Amino acid sequence: MSEHDHHYHGDGHDHDHDREHDRPLSGPALRVKALESLLTEKGLVDAQALDELIDTYQTRVGPRNGARIVARAWVDPAYRQRLLTDATAAIAEFGFIGRQGEDMVVLENTPRVRNMVVCTLCSCYPWPVLGLPPVWYKSAPYRARAVINPRGVLEELGDAVADDVEVRVWDSTAELRYLVLPERPAGTEGWSEEQLAQIVTRDAMIGVAQVNVPAGSAR
């Protein structure tokens, strides 16, 4: 992996967030919003159908790419090593390339280290592997509090972290995007790559949740 200027905030990092978290929408974003409103007002687009389409790409279609990468890393040690060494190239092996994913770094969770991704300035996000960013990821409270109090944020999201586990917060930029490689859950020994991919969630790849085996899942 080439040398990157990683934006890493340690656990308990006392960071001065005097940045403007609620900056106006950029020109392209404003145009998209205006177009969406116009089409909805004229009855050319159904607002509910549009919301459902966005949700599909946020939670189902987009994250499936990342889930395939995680599952492959869990079952293929050689691929895992390539992924951690040069994530951009390893991800490109799946054909997942393009805007918002030109320069990637994969962060591996371990029993002693949890990684969590945020974009404090706006909403930089690895679209080719995770799809569209969820609304909460783009919100000012998450962007500010993930750095100031990551443990508190994780606890509020139902994923409390033990005191002896280090929480590392990584700040995405326009040049560099992160993907978390979550720990493989116990009880999945012998599962196929396809089965494993089905249980990997978007939130786990952002670092705000762990991967769990659904009740009643069969091998």
Q: Which of 2, 26, 119, 217 is catalytic?
A: 119
Q: Locate 76 and state its tokens.
A: 């293929």
Q: Which of 26, 37, 124, 217 is catalytic?
A: 124
Please confirm, yes or no, whether 139 is among the known catalytic residues.
no
Give the CA count within 13 Å in the CB-facing half-sphere of 200: 30
111: amino acid identity, one letter: P
The candidate with the shortest Cα–Cα distance to 125, out of 150, 149, 109, 142, is 142
Produce one character per residue of 34-60: b if its CB has 16 or more CB atoms within 10 Å, e if not. eeeeeeeeeeebeeeeeeeeeeeebbe
Q: Which of 37, 122, 172, 192 is catalytic?
A: 122
Helix (H) or strand (E) run with residue 84 in it: helix 77-85
Q: Which of 2, 37, 123, 172 is catalytic?
A: 123
In which residue are the tokens 């900056």 written? Answer: 23
Q: How many CB atoms lie within 10 A of CB 123?
A: 17
The candidate with the shortest Cα–Cα distance to 99, out of 119, 66, 124, 128, is 128
Please confirm, yes or no, whether 26 is among the known catalytic residues.
no
Please confirm, yes or no, whether 217 is among the known catalytic residues.
no
Measure the CA–CA gap between 146 and 140, rounded to whole angstroms: 10
The candidate with the shortest Cα–Cα distance to 178, out of 170, 190, 189, is 170
Catalytic residues: 119, 122-124
